[in-house]
Amino acid sequence: MKRSCNPSSDAHCHRPRLDGIDKIARKKLILASILCVIFMIAEIIGGIYSNSLAIATDAAHLLADLASFMISLFALWIAARPSTKRLSFGWYRAEVIGALTSVLMIWVVTAILFYLAVIRTIERNFELDGKVMLITSGLGILVNIIMGATLHGHGHSHGGSTSPNSSHQHSHGGGGGGHSEENINVRAAFVHVLSDFVQSLGVFIAALVIYFKPEWSIIDPICTFMFSILVLATTIAIMKDALLVLMEGTPKYLDYTEVMGTFLQIGGVVRVHNLRIWALSINKIALSAHLAVAPNTNTESVLQEATRTVHAKYDFFETTLQIEEFQPDMEDCNQCSNPI
């Protein structure tokens, strides 16, 4: 029988899903994409006129950024689709796949430009226009500051607790395990823009040197080498996070042992097993666990306290708890043993 309940009350079985951050992410990415297209065209023209590989590297980097923005926008759109019988968790992983694809794309572009820089260093048969380099890189710094300000925003977490009404409770949270809400695609885009800013700054400094000392044109491919290392350093963290989500690992900001200890502190709980903590996306964390309680324990009371406690402390997006009576053979059961 269905019961009426207030969604904002502590006794409500489900809390509303807070997906407003994805709408904000879309607006940020659309604006950043427009700025990216405008300046990418300007840099391509500037790179051709100045014959600078460093500016060409920056333009190619912007092209990769634009592609990543498009992938991210698609990922956000598809992630907003409702869950299906086949995809019961929804489309949240599409965001992670989008971020992973954008990082791989920028690695490929960087590798190509690194190769071209090696060729230019060996042959040393090129001339540069320092003035055009100076103007183009100066504009690059300005545009990257604007794009960075557009993408960068403060995170926020959502609290609240859920009170269950059955011995097998499945509840929804608004946040991600007590971690500040962020969208991985906006994060990836911001990292790209940050590396672009440093790259434009480097090109600007190189352009200054070449403008006053044209014979030092070797600085141009050297900058490309440095920027390639910078790109790798700034994107490898995103790659690690994305792979951890795809491998269904416990997020690094959550302590598995601490979460288990939280359950064991609840009166009546003797053992916790089948504790699973994994990420649907970077900021949407799921948990499931079996709580073994002592005989004659009020299971409803334990379930309510466990759910309230875990949501108040960690605010998981999805939580499924099962209460069962403790059996001595659980101590020797391989399926009930906790991971190393």
Q: What is the pLDDT of residues 302-336, one digit of tens each?
A: 999 998 998 888 878 888 999 988 887 777 666 66
Question: Rounded to the nearest 5°, which phi and psi values hold at 245?
Answer: -65, -45
**Widest Cα–Cα separation across the chain:** 87
Q: What is the 3-state secondary structure (H, E, C) of the chain?
A: CCCCCCCCCCCCCCCCCCCHHHHHHHHHHHHHHHHHHHHHHHHHHHHHHHCCHHHHHHHHHHHHHHHHHHHHHHHHHHHCCCCCCCCCCCCCHHHHHHHHHHHHHHHHHHHHHHHHHHHHHHHCCCCCCHHHHHHHHHHHHHHHHHHHHHHCCCCCCCCCCCCCCCCEEEEECCCECCECCCCHHHHHHHHHHHHHHHHHHHHHHHHHHHHHCHHHCCHHHHHHHHHHHHHHHHHHHHHHHHHHHHCCCCCCCCCHHHHHHHHHCCCCEEEEEEEEEEEEECCEEEEEEEEEECCCCCHHHHHHHHHHHHHHHCCCCEEEEEEEECCHHHHHCCCCCCCC
Please say if the pLDDT value at position 61 is more than 50. yes
Q: What is the pLDDT of residues 224-271, one digit of tens each?
A: 888 788 778 777 888 888 899 999 888 888 999 999 999 999 988 998
Q: Which pLDDT value is given to residue 323?
A: 92
pLDDT band at 56 (very low <50, low <70, confident <90, very high): confident
Q: What is the pLDDT of residues 285-301, one digit of tens each?
A: 899 999 999 988 898 99
Q: Starting at the earlier edge strand, list the strands of the sheet with 168-172.
A: 168-172, 318-325, 284-293, 269-281
20-158+181-246: which CATH topology?
Alpha-lytic protease prodomain-like (1.20.1510)
Q: Which pLDDT value is given to residue 14?
A: 44
CA distance 298 to 301: 5
Tokens (6 digits) for 325: 């009576």
CA distance 224 to 156: 37
Which has more confidence, 73 or 176? 73
pLDDT band at 278 (very low <50, low <70, confident <90, very high): very high
**Total residue count of the chain as it appears in this document:** 340
Please say if the pLDDT value at position 10 is more than 50. no
Domain limits of the chain? 20-158+181-246
pLDDT band at 60 (very low <50, low <70, confident <90, very high): confident
Q: Which pLDDT value is given to residue 196?
A: 78
Give me the amino acid identity at 61: H
Q: How would you classify the pairing of strands 269-281 and 318-325?
A: unpaired
pLDDT band at 149 (very low <50, low <70, confident <90, very high): confident
Q: What is the pLDDT of residues 88-124, one digit of tens each?
A: 888 888 878 887 887 888 788 888 888 988 988 888 8
Please say if the pLDDT value at position 202 is more than 60. yes
Q: What is the pLDDT of residues 156-191, one digit of tens each?
A: 433 333 333 344 454 445 444 434 445 667 777 787
CA distance 241 to 109: 21
**Nearest partner of 56 among 214, 224, 229, 190, judged by Cα:** 224
Neighbours of 182 (CB within 10 A): 18
**Nearest partner of 33 among 71, 6, 5, 4, judged by Cα:** 71
- Tell me what the pLDDT averaged over the chain comes to: 78
